[in-house]
Structure 1
């Protein structure tokens, strides 16, 4: 039995007789022509029956009371539905609702700024990241623009407008990333892309389909998580750390760094902090009486951090090495500096020379790359030893000293979860040492008898 609904066409009411459109068999008995079924009060799904196959239509009511009509695709009368060109009833019904929503949004957006493309939002996101990094003194140069330009803006998805972007578009882009990329690299690119798509102003987000957030979530869903990388294996014995510091002092002297290189390596090793933190330290962050360094918290992570500095105890030898750098200087001066050089014009036939120009704080971890290679060679360590090994070594040293995981995380400005994930074996060894101290002999080895326990 067909359903009968009363609908409005302007000021006149007409009756909509709902045709049986749900299956190919149900549609076989229909005569040639157009048949309708309601999707909502003002949206109807139509089926135009032809001699061979039928086609789906949609019509919807306009603000002035008139109706507008458009085609959706072929019906699955003779071909299996593929969800794109050939649609079954449910697919056609869903597409009709989405199509009308998009058309109504276009009508509302008439005269407004056009909906941005993926390219536009990605470029705006990258520019914003770069601007924030430039405002933060001592922050490392942001490379999001390079990653996104290489892997997103070079892909056809960059030309898509956000209102017609689908999760299939994003999934196709995700699958197209080179297989040679490391899992961590892929995750970094995907996270940057997701942040760009989600970081839209409210006025733009309101003009997009309600399904847009879910489109981004499903399309950029990353596969299985990368197995936790064990970093405790990258930690060095204390003897190797001392060799690195001695080598840093020798390279510093040979290359005339005037102590700048040595102090940078020394503070990195003593605190276990990141380069970006150490490079922002001020003279006032050295507290000789307490044998303490106040290390600025990192800019990593989300949200507002409650503290701005982390109190880190260091040895008297570290404090003594830093005394010349703080003597007679203001508390607000950068603690660790280095010389900047400029190239002087050479005389005809002579090679240009680099001369010292001015002193200033360290800016980028890349500044230590070349001298670090010389340090590692001088110390006789493997060439793949990286400066971050100083941080790994500090964390593992604290864990082996049986400090609580939470305290180790706080001292190194990271989370308990990250410590447990990446330094598991060091934690196990530390706990094993603690439990071993609680073990007492229960058997008299000399007499071979069981010792009586009180109670």
Structure 2
């Protein structure tokens, strides 16, 4: 199912991460793969989860377990009459990582939040390093919208609405959405000016962001071949490191631009529901991962609710004097 969806989205035969993850870590598991579905217990799933290679980062282990959980839940529907009544609950508890506590990635999130000056420094470094402007425009969009790489790279020329000073950002294809949906985001004139050169004279249905593709002519010899849309976030890995170095910023991941955008909205006093909607996520996720900034951002608002309760001078102070 995942491979079929990946093929549909890519427009060509494509394998999903579920193929490699489930093939390697589930189908090759001698203790689990041979069991009948109605024989699998919560203890079996918990043991499998703990046996996942220690070389895998937590995010990879969670992704693999999530794929496995989706497969088991999909199998539950047609066989539910023959499975134990608590099968779904056993799957949920057996593949949960809550007993491990917060991950390193979650604890490190604080270090991935950039202030406005650092975001500007990254954009300035990108403009200086990227002579074509393709990577720089990508980074400008990531910073201005806080969207994921997969969202901004699906934008088309018509998604830039100069008259309304806004962008139409496709929502993520995560979850169970059955149709494409979009989020309208207001942006500044500086962002619109950066996008104008790639919008003028192009069809509204063309991909907004493109980059050069190269063909190899010989050893260390490459030639520009054609321009095409970005396809993978790995395409920006190497120049991103150079950008961070040039900007004088400790190494962070490009996703830091999303973290920073969310925190910027929280600090500006925007309703949490609006921050979640603009960033195509849920209030629960915002509250779970950005609770510290929610508290800090609302502190000034809470201070405005403080009123004098004692007429000066307070009676007890007057008696003490």
- The TM-score, its normalising length taken from structure 2, stands at 0.85
Q: In 2 relative to 1, CA 212–449 (structure 1 residues): closer, same or farther, beyond 3 Å?
A: closer
Matched, 1:333 2:206: yes
Partner of 1:234: 112
| Distance (whole Å) between structure 2 residues aligned to residue 318 and residue 190 of structure 1 | 39
Mapped to 2, the partners of 1:216 and 1:428 lie a distance apart of 34
SS in 1 for 2:216: strand
| Map of 2:318 onto structure 1 | none
Query: Offset of 1:212 from its aligned partner?
Result: 8.0
1:317 aligned residue (190, 200, 207) = 190
- Structure 1 residue 252 corresponds to structure 2 residue 130: yes
Matching residue within 161, 183, 188 for 2:63 = 188
SS for the counterpart of 1:310 is strand
- What is the deviation of 1:216? 8.1
The answer for the alignment partner of 2:48 in structure 1 is 173
User: Superposition pairs for residues 211-222 of structure 1, below 5 Å?
Assistant: 211=84, 214=87, 217=90, 220-222=94-96
Q: Deviations over 1:199-223 (max 9, x none)?
A: 23966x27x8332872882583535
- Secondary structure at 1:343's aligned position in 2? strand
1:397 to 264, 289, 294: 264
* Alpha carbons of structure 1 residues 411 and 176: separation in structure 2 relative to 1, 3 Å: same
- Contact kept in structure 2, 1:232 and 1:396, CA below 8 Å: no
Give the whole-Å Cα distance in 2 for the aligned partners of 1:210 and 1:201.
Answer: 7
Seen in structure 2, the aligned counterparts of structure 1 residues 352 and 430 have a Cα distance that, compared at 3 Å, is: closer
Contact 2:199/2:208 (8 A) holds in 1:
yes
- Per-residue deviation at 1:171? 4.5
Structure 1, residues 127-171: CA drift from partner, whole Å, max 9, x if none? x31221121149997322222233222211454153563325545
Match of 2:181 in 1: 308
Which protein has the larger Cα radius of gyration, Structure 1 or Structure 2?
1
- Comparing 370-379 and 233-242, the one that deviates more: 233-242
Residue by residue over 1:268-299, the C-alpha shift from the partner in whole angstroms, topping out at 9 and shown as x without a partner, is 00000000000000000001111100000101
What residue ranges of structure 2 are gaps of 5+ in the alignment? 316-321
- Quick one: which of 48, 69, 72 aligns to 1:197? 72
Q: Show the counterpart of 1:449.
A: 313
Distance 1:297 1:419 in 2: 17
Instruction: Give 1 or 2: higher helix fraction.
Output: 2
Q: Gaps spanning 5+ residues in structure 1: where?
A: 1-127
2:212 touches 2:224 (CA, 8 Å); kept in 1?
yes
Paired positions, count: 308
Q: 1:343 to 1:398 in 2, by over 3 A?
A: same
Please tell me whether the aligned partners of residues 138 and 364 of structure 1 are also in contact (alpha carbons under 8 angstroms): no
How much does 1:429 deviate? 1.1
Sort the Cα spacing of 1:343 and 1:180 in 2 relative to 1 into closer, same or farther, 3 A: closer
Of Structure 1 and Structure 2, the greater strand share is in 1
Q: 1:56-455, aligned counterparts within 5 Å? A: 128-137=1-10, 142-157=16-31, 159-160=33-34, 162=36, 165-167=39-41, 169-179=44-54, 181-200=56-75, 205=79, 209-211=82-84, 214=87, 217=90, 220-222=94-96, 224-225=98-99, 226-227=101-102, 229=106, 231-253=109-131, 258-304=132-178, 308-344=181-217, 346=218, 351=219, 353-383=221-251, 385-439=252-306, 449=313
**SS of equivalent residue, structure 1 residue 268:** helix
Distance 1:274 1:153, change over 3 A: same
Of the structure 1 ranges 401-410 and 233-242, higher mean CA displacement relative to structure 2 is found in 233-242
TM-score (normalised: structure 1): 0.61
Distance in 1 between residues matched to 2:11 and 2:123, nearest whole Å: 24
